[in-house]
A and B are shown apart, each in its own frame.
Chain A
Amino acid sequence: MSETSSSEHQHKPDMDSYPGDKIFGWTSHPKAGFITFIAMIVICAALALASFVLPARHEYLHFAEFPIFYALYGFGAFAFVVMTGWPLRKLLGRPENYYGDEEDSDV
């Protein structure tokens, strides 16, 4: 049968530091979100700039030769997918016991 160890070997919640803090601790810093936001702006600006600096590329589909086509498409596609999540959830979301039993209840 399924085995889990959910209740065993738990670290104490009140411990000050954890093994993962050394690598990922910065993600919990109050300013981490803002710093990541700025870093991404810099990275994306550099990537977009590179499209204009490098020689024009050849694509088998000509509309993709527009310098920042991939950047715009990536941003647009991602935003579209996420934004459709709002109406889709209203349309398709149901309570957990919709099918008459505790659907997906963890074991």
Chain B
Amino acid sequence: MFKDPQLLLSVTNPGFIVIIAGILAYFVRHRIARGVVTIGGPLLGLLALAMHQAQGTPLASVEIMELTLVLYQVEKVAIVFGLAFLIAAVVNSIYALHTKDPLQDSMALIYAGAAIAATFCGDLMTVFIFWEVTAISSVFLILRSGSKEAYKASMRYLGVQILSGVLLLMGSAFIMGEFGSLEFSAFLTDGEGLKLGEDPGAIFLFIALGIKAAFPLMHNWLQDSYPKATHTGAVVLSAFTTKLAVYALLRFFPGEDSLIWIGAIMTVFPVFFAVIENDLRKVLAYSLNNQVGFMVCAIGIGTPLALNGAAAHAFCHIIYKGLLFMSMGAVMYRTGTTKATELGGLYRTMPFTAIFCLIGAASISAFPLFSGFVAKSLTMSAVGYEHMAVIWMMLLFASAGVLEHSGIKIPYFAFFGHDSGKRPKEAPFNMLLAMGIAAFFCIWLGFPMLGGVDFLYGLLPYQLEAQKYLDQDLWTTDHVLTQFQLLMFAAFAFIVLNRLKLYPPEKRGVVLDTDWVYRRPVYSSVVWLGAVWHRLGPAMTDSMQGVARRVYDRIEDTFSPKGQLSRGPLSSGIAIWTSIVLAIVMGLALIAGP
């Protein structure tokens, strides 16, 4: 096999190629040579994906400790996500060509490669391994911005991501116990996912994915960390973590009813935060939440049309959200800030960046002829077909909200609005090229007769439904007209409110979110307990030593090689107990982090 590169490429997980390129990139100190590696790696990955031998069967697997790790398995739905990840990796590498940070370039590729590898594997243990690699490698994209608050945010981020991994491992342990294997083929049959109330361990998996997908009340790690990443790091982060979780939800929990409401709430609540947020990259982070909500809701509905919608939305979203983050990254790079209060009027000297931002804004707003329209329509129609009136109204409300924060607020406050007096130079050529490629995809995928819509719909997992929708529903006069009505009247509302001075002016400051709970009261409680402990310490030393000794004996009796967990049927629960302890430790680290 190794003598035949073509054969080798056809059975190699594209993610591995990208990871190897990432490792290589760290050692290549010459910037241009590193650029060749960082762009060439994902391109080679694309080639490998194009050459894959077969779908639905393991193409590469290994046996480790009685576990079968399916390292490469291509499924129809995985191609949608994997292809989008690979395109994003190429574009992101071009975008970061001007940087002089081998570590960041390396980690960005390893992170992307791990997400791709997880997408194209066929068992939970391999997913877990790459799940953790994405968590650890992505931290560097926040850390490398070098500020104190970025450091703190990256530690909180790491804690949350590792906790997600621990829960994934716990869920995997239960599934191993129930099905005797971690291979997808053992517990996912005929497109049926796990059942929350029936399958042991499903709840742990569900929460693990929920954390990564930033479900409501588990979402704030995203707004906390992404805006503090480097100007290139935020672009990379926007593409992979949440969409990997969406992919996993699509594989493991299609048709899970609770996802319908979770997704609908996800689409609505960030809209309110985004309107008062001053940092435009944080606005995009809320917008990311909102967009993932559409996908989660579609997965919950679970019909072929809805699942097509989730996959198509993810594909387009990875590209247009990346484009918006790139445009804000360019603004950050040139002006040193993305705060709306300090920006405005940048179109004068950054016209190309402004144009690309507007294309991204039109796409995410789902204007007809742009990619968001052809993707989001599938989900909206699927909800309508199921006669879910309240959910449909919520998603429609969120669609108007998207226009507010991503369609208007982002370009208006950065490039138009009041003149900040800033006259920065246009973004570097490589940034413009990356934005141009992403903008091309936004138009190509959304404009009829260019072939992009057929290409996108041809990728979707349920072909019959996709083709029927494309032929009968997508481009009807009614559909296009009503979408234009929704968006143009919403834009008109912006103009009216602005003229009446009813639009809240941008103000410096922070907006409280769920992170307030662990950054204020919980943190204060820990500090207070620490102070109390310090004062009572001498008096309590003897009694606490006794307690500690008993606790130690108990732990030894439970966890030691001769302990209870090693006896009889409980020995299989070792992984679970370890996970619990690790989860508690990580939880404490998270709380103590700020």
Contact = CB atoms under 8 A, between A and B. Distances in A.
A57 B483 CA distance: 13
Interface in B343-361: 345, 347-351, 354-355
Contact of A6 (B336, B400, B507): B336
Given A18-B348, A75-B489, A105-B147, A54 B339 contact: no
Contact of A20 (B276, B348, B484): B348
Given A81-B404, A106-B337, A88 B99 contact: no
A85 B504 contact: yes
A4 B336 contact: yes
Contacts of A12: 423
B388 to A, nearest CB: 9
Contacts of B507: 89, 93
B486 A70 contact: yes
Contact of A81 (B99, B101, B400, B492): B400
B349 A89 contact: no
Given A4-B336, A95-B509, A47 B485 contact: yes
A74 B493 contact: yes
Contacts of B497: 79, 82-83
Given A81-B401, A106-B337, A33 B489 contact: no
Contacts of B227: 104
B519 interface: yes
Given A70-B482, A101-B148, A82 B504 contact: yes
Given A3-B333, A74-B493, A60 B481 contact: no
Contact of A24 (B337, B351, B397, B487): B351
A19 B348 contact: yes
B76 interface: no
Interface in A38-73: 40-41, 43-44, 47-48, 50-51, 54, 57, 59-61, 63-64, 68-73
Contact of A77 (B98, B99, B397): B397
Nearest to A24: B347
B272 interface: yes
A104 B279 contact: yes
B275 A82 contact: yes
B510 interface: yes
A96 B272 contact: no
Given A47-B488, A74-B488, A104-B149, A5 B333 contact: yes
Contacts of B520: 99
Interface in B473-505: 477-478, 481-499, 502-504
A78 B494 CA distance: 7
B535 interface: no
B31 interface: no
B114 to A, nearest CB: 23
Nearest to B381: A60
Interface in A1-49: 1-13, 15, 18-24, 27-28, 33, 36-37, 40-41, 43-44, 47-48
A72 B100 contact: no
A9 B400 contact: no
A99 B499 contact: no
B509 A96 contact: yes
B348 to A, nearest CB: 4
Interface in B388-414: 389, 392, 396-397, 400-401, 403-404
Nearest to A21: B348
Nearest to B403: A78
Contacts of A69: 482
B272 A102 contact: no
A71 B334 CA distance: 39
Given A70-B483, A75-B490, A95-B510, A27 B347 contact: yes
Nearest to B478: A57
B129 to A, nearest CB: 29
Interface string B113-155: 0000000000000000000000000000000111111101000
A103 B510 contact: yes
B499 A33 contact: yes
B272 A81 contact: yes
B419 interface: yes
B561 interface: no
Nearest to A56: B478
B354 A13 contact: no
A74 B426 CA distance: 35
B511 interface: yes
B508 interface: yes
Contact of A74 (B101, B147, B486, B519): B486
B394 to A, nearest CB: 10
Contact of A2 (B144, B384, B486, B504): B144
Contacts of A10: 423-425
B207 interface: no
Given A4-B231, A74-B490, A11 B424 contact: yes
B332 interface: yes
22 contacts: A2-B144, A2-B146, A4-B332, A6-B337, A10-B423, A11-B423, A19-B351, A23-B355, A24-B347, A41-B492, A47-B485, A50-B481, A57-B478, A61-B389, A70-B486, A77-B396, A81-B404, A82-B502, A83-B502, A85-B272, A92-B276, A93-B512
Interface of A: 1-13, 15, 18-24, 27-28, 33, 36-37, 40-41, 43-44, 47-48, 50-51, 54, 57, 59-61, 63-64, 68-79, 81-86, 88-89, 92-96, 98-99, 101-107
The 10 closest A-B pairs by CB, nearest first: A6-B336, A20-B351, A9-B425, A18-B348, A77-B400, A11-B423, A74-B486, A78-B490, A78-B493, A74-B490
Interface of B: 98-101, 144-150, 152, 227-228, 230-231, 271-273, 275-276, 279, 282, 332-339, 345, 347-351, 354-355, 381, 384-385, 387, 389, 392, 396-397, 400-401, 403-404, 415-416, 419, 421, 423-426, 477-478, 481-499, 502-504, 507-513, 519-520, 594
Given A40-B495, A60-B384, 11 more contacts: A2-B145, A23-B347, A60-B387, A64-B482, A71-B486, A77-B397, A78-B403, A82-B493, A88-B276, A102-B149, A104-B149
